[in-house]
Amino acid sequence: MLADLEELVRCESFSADHEALARSAEVVGAMGERILGTAPEMIVVDGVPHLRWVFGSPRVLLMGHHDTVWPMGSLRTHPWSVVDGIARGPGVLDMKSGLVQLFHALASLPSRDGVCVLVNGDEEVGSPTSRELIEESARGCAAAFVLEASANESGALKVARKGTSRYEVVVHGKAAHAGLEPEKGVNAAVEAAHQVLAIAGLAASMAGVDSALGAPTVTPTLLSAGSTLNTVPARATVSVDVRVPTKQTQDRIDDLIRELPVRTVGARLEVLGGKRRPPMEPASSAALFALAAAIAEELGQEPLRGLAVGGASDGNYTAGVGCPTLDGIGGVGSGAHADSEHVLVAQLIPRSELLARLIERTRR
């Protein structure tokens, strides 16, 4: 398993580099074929390669991704290493260790019938080219297991995730000379300032909306306005990041953003973007987590914990189409996306054993 993990980590796969993703897909596909005895279907959408193995009529979906957030060349500053039982390298936790565990868990079973394996190449950027494929694969399955990393170094599983929405609020104004006749312009920057305050206040207007995932957040992020120092800005933009605990909250915030009132006479608002990943609510994982906890006890492993987390994954999509979903079954470690990213080597086999028994129990 360590040799396989090293091979994947040494094959850099930055989400924005399609050539690197193509090389990564070949390596992952060859590894899966060697371990599982079957070549994958290669599905390329808008230049992004995804891999799928289908064994019989799937009842269980195993989800992973081979892209990472690490830019090409990161191996020079974050080389592969295994020291004192800790493996390091770009993407080692998120989520190349999960892929290795997936392949070896499935290979340990006497039969792979009833399983679909989907490894996409754009999860780190929101799965824009693979969402339809994910949802299609999840519909009708009894369970989806997402091989994202555990929630912490204790191996906690991820039993709920907030949903995400992204917007760009575009303010259209009217240019004019800032010194000679500013009154003839419509200042998009001033209107954008009003909108930033209004958007930041939307979460407060949702007071009382809470769950195991916590309250929703609505955060203005990137701002831009104007063209030159002596021109009344004719255009401004405000980017907005939204995280929600429930689909109802996601729908309500979407309505509020699209209904933002204009404060500056003559200005016009245009709202781009919208809802992205639906929330993975606790009910979608409850039965599977109870099963996983029972299996961990059977295996003599430490008691499992389930945590709700704010970040999104492809488990949001599988849960969103009604497929029971359990996330965070992959590598155990911490530091995803950070210089400290690492995996605890001692947990590779126990997590694979846990996944193998979960597959057996849910595909019947």
Angle between helices 18-36 and 2-10 (to 10 degrees): 160
Say whether 123 is catalytic.
yes
CB 106 within 8 A of CB 36: yes
Whole-number Å distance between alpha carbons of 29 and 37: 11
Which of 6, 12, 122, 123 does the annotation list as catalytic? 123
Say whether 4 is catalytic.
no
* Identity of the amino acid at 68: T
Which of 6, 12, 67, 314 does the annotation list as catalytic? 67
Three-state SS sequence of the chain? CHHHHHHHHHCCCECCCHHHHHHHHHHHHHHHHHHHCCCCEEEEECCEEEEEEEECCCCEEEEEECCECCCCCHHHHCCCEEECCEEECCCHHHHHHHHHHHHHHHHCCCCCCCEEEEEECCHHHCCCCCHHHHHHHHCCCCEEEECCCCCCCCCCEEEEECEEEEEEEEEECECCECCCCHHHCECHHHHHHHHHHHHHCHHHHCCCCCCCCCCCEEEEEEEEECCCCCECCCEEEEEEEEEECCHHHHHHHHHHHHCCCCCCCCCEEEEEEEECCCCECHHHCHHHHHHHHHHHHHCCCCCCCEEEECCCCCHHHHHHCCCCEEECCCCCEECCCCCCCEEEHHHHHHHHHHHHHHHHHHCC
Whole-number Å distance between alpha carbons of 52 and 62: 10
Whole-number Å distance between alpha carbons of 245 and 242: 10
Catalytic sites, residue numbers: 67, 123
